Structure 1
Amino acid sequence: MIELHCHTTCSDGTLTPGELVAAAAGAGIQALAITDHDTLTGWDEARLACAQYGLELVPGVELSTLHNGCSLHVLGFYPDQAKLTPFLEERHAARVRRARSTVERLADLGYPIEMPRASTPGRFHIARALKEAGYIKDEQQAFQRWIGEGKPAYVPYEHLSAAEGIERLRECGAVTVWAHPMLFRGGNVEAVLPVLVAAGLQGLEVYHCEHTPRQSARLEVLCREWSLIATGGSDFHGDNKDGVSLNMLRLPLSLLEPLKRLANLPTAIA
């Protein structure tokens, strides 16, 4: 079985890379992608753990971009780490500025918190700080009341268009996949897809914990129509995403073969 979308404490997950690999092995996973938001820092620890537990590591990243004014995430698999890291360092600085602006807006609304100390601060860390301060009972309330898109303390990403993000990932050798396309709020998939394909998009995350079977079937059709690969993953974050567990989608290892072909890698599992 395979997981192609997971997060660690290097972004907004609650398990370290090593802990994630151990949990994946226990859940029957044979190949695991580390796709932290805008950072590659979990790869080295995950690679050592994968060697220990006999898993194949799929090195990846989830890049935060914008399209039609809304958040659109792009997964990049097998990028050249040396080429991509300087660009991600710039995006990391933008993440810190975004988090600081969000904290300032919350203070203006009467809900002061300390700036999260996470290495890659994001809205989850802010939501947890709000919970620890006693303003809410669970992190989801923070998104519903203040920091979700369109809410009073929401701060958008510093502008990086989806097309620009895809192009940059491709320049760094990554295989590019639109993450959870059915969750995108800036237009339907059929309308957005031509723009992304023109920029170099190579796949769709067909199978996701928040996609219905009907939505996944619709995405399968689009993959065939546009000659795109299909990927999938639970989008596991640890204990901060209720109802999501490793290997919950029971995705076959065969999904890895077309991904590795596009990356010019041997298709047999390591």
Structure 2
Amino acid sequence: MLELHCHTTHSDGTLTPTELVSAALAAGVKVLAITDHDTLSGWNEAITAAKPYDIEIVPGLELSTVHNGRSLHLLGFYPNRDRLQPPLQERIAGRFRRAQKMVDRLADLGYPVELSMRGTMVPGRPHIANALVKAGYIQSPQEAFDRWLGEGKPAYVEYEKFSVFEGIKLLRDCTAVPVWAHPYLFCGGQVETLLPDFVAAGLMGLEVYHPSHTIAQTQTLEALCQQYGLLKTGGSDYHGPALGKTDDRHTELNHLHLSTELLTPLKQASIGLSQ
């Protein structure tokens, strides 16, 4: 079974890469992608942890971009680390700036919190939500998103401007296969309308299989992949237990039961980019 969208404590997951590999092993996962937000730092630990077991680690990331003023995420698989690491530093710095602005807004609203970051962790809204819980202002991270951190709420801060077109180009320039993550979670336009421009810019795949997609949406994405000659990927978007996201879509590992056959065309596409 295959998981092509998972997060660790190097971004907003709750399991270390080693713990994630152990959880994947227990769930019967054979292929596991590490796709932390805007960072590659969790790969080495995951690869080391997976060596004794029959688990293949797919190196990747989830890149934060903006389109029509809304957050749009791109998955990038098999990037050239040496090429991608330097430009990613600015994206990571932007995440820290964004987090600090949200913390400052919360303080202005009368809810000061301390955001402590460990090692290579890249900050996100779940970290701030958990800090609000720890400070005793609310009972659950969900409440933080409902009151302050969700889009349009008083403490929300948009991502710094980095367009989806810039993101696609960056990934391809670094030999990473660019895939639109959970397309139907995007709130800035209709998938069918936006897709032609993204494909023209070099998008190579769609995350067809995702817990947030309905059966009808999945079928539409499958048809779009057929129409445009795009790769199909999927995964649970696993963040580990007790995450504190804004919904319950981050479910258990391997619950989608995706075939490892999805990996072959992804690898072939990666080889094509590197040649």
TM-score grouping bracket, smaller chain normalisation:
over 0.9
Residue 115 of structure 1, CA deviation: 2.5
Q: Which residue of 2 aligns with 1:176?
A: 178
Aligned 8 A contact 1:116 1:126 in 2 = no
| Cα distance in structure 1, aligned partners of 2:225 and 2:149 | 33
The 5-angstrom pairing of residues 104-115 of structure 1 reads: 104-115=104-115
Matched letter for residue 244 of structure 1: T
Q: Which residue of 1 aligns with 2:132?
A: 130
Q: Is 1:202 aligned to residue 209 of structure 2?
A: no
Q: Which residue of 2 aligns with 1:145?
A: 147
Q: Which residue of 1 aligns with 2:232?
A: 230
Task: Please say which of residues 112-121 and 218-227 is displaced more in the overlay.
Answer: 112-121
Q: Is 1:77 aligned to residue 84 of structure 2?
A: no
Counterpart among 139, 158, 163 of residue 156 in structure 1: 158
In the superposition, the TM-score normalised over structure 2's length comes to 0.94
Q: Which residue of 2 aligns with 1:268?
A: none
| Cα distance in structure 1, aligned partners of 2:155 and 2:196 | 32
2:175 match: secondary structure: coil
Q: Which residue of 1 aligns with 2:16?
A: 16
1:177 match: secondary structure: strand
1:52 match: secondary structure: coil
| Cα distance in structure 2, aligned partners of 1:148 and 1:53 | 39
| Cα distance in structure 2, aligned partners of 1:224 and 1:214 | 15
The 5-angstrom pairing of residues 259-270 of structure 1 reads: 259-264=266-271
Residue 200 of structure 1, CA deviation: 0.7
Matched letter for residue 170 of structure 1: R
| Cα distance in structure 2, aligned partners of 1:261 and 1:16 | 29
Q: Give 5+ residue unaligned stretches, structure 2.
A: none
| Cα distance in structure 1, aligned partners of 2:48 and 2:117 | 26
Residue 259 of structure 1, CA deviation: 0.4
Residue 4 of structure 1, CA deviation: 0.2
Aligned 8 A contact 2:204 2:230 in 1 = yes
Q: Which residue of 2 aligns with 1:245?
A: 252
Aligned 8 A contact 1:6 1:35 in 2 = yes
| Cα distance in structure 2, aligned partners of 1:55 and 1:210 | 26
Segments of 4+ moved more than 2 angstroms: none
Residue identity over aligned pairs, in percent, reads 61
Q: Is 1:55 aligned to residue 55 of structure 2?
A: yes
| Cα distance in structure 2, aligned partners of 1:224 and 1:187 | 21
The size of the alignment, in residue pairs, is 265
1:59 match: secondary structure: strand
Aligned 8 A contact 1:164 1:199 in 2 = no
Matched letter for residue 10 of structure 1: H
Residue 52 of structure 1, CA deviation: 1.7
Q: Which residue of 2 aligns with 1:256?
A: 263
Matched letter for residue 38 of structure 1: D
Q: Give 5+ residue unaligned stretches, structure 1.
A: 266-270
Aligned 8 A contact 2:209 2:233 in 1 = yes
Aligned 8 A contact 2:115 2:127 in 1 = no
Residue 141 of structure 1, CA deviation: 1.3
CA deviation digits over 1:42-87, x for unaligned, max 9? 0000111111222111100000000000000000000000100011
| Cα distance in structure 2, aligned partners of 1:195 and 1:159 | 19
Q: Which residue of 2 aligns with 1:96?
A: 96
Residue 116 of structure 1, CA deviation: 3.2
CA deviation digits over 1:69-112, x for unaligned, max 9? 00000000000001000111111111100000000001111111
Matched letter for residue 68 of structure 1: N
Aligned-pair Cα RMSD in Å: 1.1
| Cα distance in structure 2, aligned partners of 1:132 and 1:90 | 29
2:52 match: secondary structure: helix
| Cα distance in structure 2, aligned partners of 1:41 and 1:11 | 9
2:271 match: secondary structure: coil
| Cα distance in structure 2, aligned partners of 1:145 and 1:254 | 43
Residue 175 of structure 1, CA deviation: 0.4
